[in-house]
Structure 1
Amino acid sequence: MTAVAPAGIRFHHGSLVIPAGAVHTIPLGYDRDSVPIGAPLPLAASAELVHRLSGCGEVVAAFEGKLGDTLLALSGIRAVLDWLRLRLRSVRVSVRAVGPYAGLIARTGLITQPQASAPSGWRAVIGDRTGVEAHGSEAAVSLVLDPAAPPCWSSDGRAHPDLPARHYLALERRLGIRLPGTAPFAPTLATGPNNLVEELRSVGWLGGLTIAAITATSWPERKDYTAQRFIALAEHIAEAQQAQARLLLIGGNPGHGLRVTAEAPRRHVQALHIDGMPADGLVDLFPHCHLIVGNDTGLTHLAAMARGGQDRGGPPVIGLYARHSHSKWRTGLSHHHAVATNLSDRMHQGDLCPVRDAIAPNSDVHMDAFPPAALAQVGLELLNEVGR
């Protein structure tokens, strides 16, 4: 579903399939659905890459940069591991993660248990540029997963604009065989018990209608929606549902550790600021919410990838996109939606980036383009969709 919101901003449902002809794409070079899993592609593989990966006994995931870039690149790790399983069935490859995101990466299921003996064979290091430079000095092969590199691919009449799809399909082409992955290509993050979550539950903060709003951003002058707008959004939703809402305002880590503070209760909303909670803890918290709204930032991507319980379910997540492409900077998961300005739509259609392509800002760039009342209508539709 793609709809025009009351204020003229556009809502893009996470399950929407984008036709190849609607956006600027690069043809994948083969009809993916018609190629059997494990079969050679009608494209030449990168012989040197295949040679070096074939001799690897260890894969190291090394990310040191931005959280969002890291999460959206984990499909590249998945692609290499899928290829190794298809190509080297009799060889056990050790997989480990290093750096600040090692714990998060372990939650994807991509990491194997440590081997009793040292891995045999070459080492492959896969990550962002900073991580590869820090850990790739002894590697036989290094792969940098740069978010600016892979284009928007198209195959079988559909576009694959999200970054997890771009990374996965780019490596499939380079490795030369049809890999088993299908959309969505992003791995999910397993959840578990957490002390703060249990404390919040015990005092009633996770009872009833619970909304999480992500206020953290590395670019506040461009992407700060502000706590007051999120509170107004929650007021609209709670009033429409004739309920009292709990609003969790999720901030970043200012370097002072975990800090939890409550605002004075409003008519329909009780708001709690949670600042400095580690990403691992937020993975455990997000699935307990009914709706999550956040700017285009790493914690919003994290919320979409956090899936809890036996059914691996979670709440709908809405990302707010004022300047960047709403399709590229999403996980591709069906519950990860977008509300976007006209500028974001144009970045999506032309596969452009206002930073990489030095596109001057205009009147569409500010977060006040998203009135809380308009966002509340989108949130209510999604809550009703989950309830059906």
Structure 2
Amino acid sequence: MTTVASAGIRFHSGSQAIPAAAVHTTPLGYDRRDIPVGVPLPVPASAALVDRLSGCGEIEVAFEGKLGDTLLALSTVRALLDWLRLRSILVAVRAVGPYAALMARSGLVTRTPATALRGRRAVIGDRAGVEARASEAVVGLVCDPGSPPCWSSDGCAHPDLPSRNYLALERRLGIRLPGTPPFAPLLPAVPSELVEELHAMGWLNGLTIAAITATSWPERKDYTAQRYIELAELIAERWQSQARLLLIGGEADSSGTRITTEGPRRHVQILRLDGVPADHLTSLFPRCQLVVGNDTGLTHLAAMARGRDGGGPPVVGLYARHSHSKWRTGLPHHHAVATDLSDRMHQGDLCPVRDAIAPNTDIHMNAFPPAALAQVCLDLLNGVCP
């Protein structure tokens, strides 16, 4: 569902199906619903890729770059493993690099089977990860977020990056894989001492809102702590309850994790968490009632993080300049509030940076008034899709 949240911004539900005719797409070349799992596709496979992967006994998953790009690329790993299972090819799958622990949570990393082949390794990851291990690999699969187009099949568009990545590899491997949308894997919560400490201190009781302040592009994507505080105050006032706001900062610097409290406001208690490792945040986000963040890796992480029962909060991403559909997980609880410019990038499958598209006015995160955003969040908290 798409609704107008305020002048110039719109809400887009994570469960919304997008017709192929509504956006610029590349036809997948087949209707997936008409092809049984395991049946060859009507488009040719990449013979060299299939031959090399068929002889591998080990898959190494190596991502070295941004957290967000890594998370949205994990569906490529899923596609490869689905293909190997269909072919009954036994391999060991191991993750390396800064996100190895997160990937282990996804269920994509396996122990070494006793019958796995030795000495032939495929590497899948971002360009830095693959190139660093090219000499050890028989084949390298580079996950580039700029490469896969917005596919269309069965009358629907598949704009989110996990869908683009999964379907792109399915086409290259030439066989109908078993995956269905959403293609992004989930990251289940595990016990965390930090999370239990926060719970014991009362920070996870009642209405708890997590707000992502971290960003790799602060001049364009920083919603600011002050706007998040105003947002939380409006939500709490209309909810007629005290709220706890967790302001989630970026990666740890030389000082490590920093957790500080701010003076309480009328309706909100505020806790700043800076430099908290992603492993702990993956267990923290499912304990919140709502997560709001800019278009950044920790917001994607919040959407993929789920409790042990598979549940978790709605996640709202704020998209001022880039496509709100491409830079999401495709999960039904991962929503977007987007500007008109973001809508145009979505409709044309464009990027304002790559395609050098300058907006008529300089659009910043102040395009999202806290009052309008608060109403969207309240609807979601009440179980109503705006």
Displacement of 1:151? 0.1
Task: Give the residue type in structure 2 aligned to 1:286.
Answer: F
Superimposed CA distance per residue, residues 328-362 of structure 1 (whole angstroms, 9 cap, x where no aligned partner): 00000000000000000000000000111111244
Aligned equivalent of 2:150, options 146, 149, 152: 152
Hey, what does 2:283 align to over in structure 1?
284
Deviations 1:242-272 (A, max 9, x none): 0000000000025021100111000000010
Task: Please give the residue correspondences for 1:134-153 in structure 2 after superposition, counting only pairs within 5 Å.
Answer: 134-153=132-151
Residue in structure 1 matched with residue 94 of structure 2 by the alignment: 96
The one-letter code sitting in structure 2 at the alignment partner of 1:260 is I
Alignment of 1:1-388 (within 5 A): 1-87=1-87, 89=88, 91-115=89-113, 119-120=117-118, 122-255=120-253, 256-309=255-308, 311-363=309-361, 365-385=363-383
CA distance in 2, matches of 1:6, 1:328: 22
Quick one: structure 1 residues 386 and 208, their matched pair in 2 at CA, closer, same or farther if it must change by over 3 Å?
Answer: farther
TM-score, length of structure 2 as denominator length = 0.97
Following superposition, the deviation at residue 138 of structure 1 comes to: 1.3
Which letter does structure 1 place at the counterpart of 2:168? A
d(CA) in 1 for partners of 2:10 and 2:26?
A: 25
1:136 to partner: Cα distance: 2.4
Query: What is the Cα-based RMSD across aligned positions, in Å?
Result: 1.3
Gaps of 5+ in 1: none
- The one-letter code matched in structure 1 to 2:282 is V
Q: Deviations over 1:22-42 (max 9, x none)?
A: 000000000110000000000
Do the aligned residues in 2 keep the contact of 1:164 with 1:185 (CA within 8 Å)?
yes
CA distance in 2, matches of 1:362, 1:222: 16
- For 1:119 and 1:201, locate their aligned partners in 2 and report how far apart those are by CA, in whole Å: 46
Q: In the alignment, is the contact (CA less than 8 A) between 2:203 and 2:244 conserved in 1? A: yes
Letter of the structure 1 residue corresponding to residue 164 of structure 2: R
Instruction: Provide the C-alpha distance between the structure 1 equivalents of 2:196 and 2:62, rounded to a whole number of angstroms.
Output: 32
Q: 1:386 offset after TM fit, Å?
A: 7.0
SS of alignment partner, residue 56 of structure 1: coil
Distance across 1 between alignment mates of 2:69 and 2:58: 23
Q: Where does the alignment leave 5 or more consecutive residues of structure 2 unmatched?
A: none
User: 1:350 corresponds to which letter in structure 2?
Assistant: G
- SS, match of residue 137 in structure 1: helix
**Separation of aligned partners in 1, 2:257 and 2:227:** 23
Q: For the residues of structure 1 that align with 2:360 and 2:67, how far apart are their CA atoms?
A: 27
Q: Deviations over 1:172-193 (max 9, x none)?
A: 0000000000000000112111
| Structure 1 letter corresponding to 2:241 | A
- Structure 2 CA distance for aligned equivalents of residues 230 and 386 of structure 1: 22
Distance of 2:347 and 2:44 partners within structure 1:
29
Are residues 39 and 121 of structure 1, via their aligned partners in 2, closer, same or farther at CA, if it must alter by over 3 Å? farther
Matches of 1:118 and 1:176, distance apart in 2: 24
Distance 1:107 1:254, change over 3 A: closer
Retained in 2: the 8 A contact 1:323–1:364? no
Q: Which secondary structure does the structure 1 equivalent of 2:191 belong to?
A: coil
Write the deviation string for residues 202-251 of structure 1: whole angstroms up to 9, x where unpaired: 11100000000000001100000000000000011100110000000000
Alignment partners' CA distance in 1, 2:13 and 2:218: 26
Q: Is the 8 A contact 1:341 1:364 kept in 2?
A: no
Conserved? CA contact 2:58–2:116, under 8 Å: no
Q: Within 1, Cα distance between the matches of 2:231 and 2:101? A: 33
Identity %: 75
3-state SS of paired residue (2:335) = strand
Contact 2:213 2:250 in 1 (8 A): yes
Letter of the 2:40 partner, please give it.
Answer: P
Whole-angstrom CA distance in 2 between matches of 1:136 and 1:76 = 18
Report if aligned partners of 2:83, 2:177 keep a CA contact under 8 Å in 1: yes
Query: Matches of 2:7 and 2:247 in 1, distance apart?
Result: 24
Deviation at residue 113 of structure 1 after TM alignment: 1.6
Secondary structure (helix, strand or coil) at the match of 1:146 reads: coil
SS in 1 for 2:58: strand
- Is the CA contact 2:91–2:113 (under 8 Å) kept in the aligned structure 1? no
Residue aligned with 1:385, SS: coil
Code of the aligned partner of 1:44: P
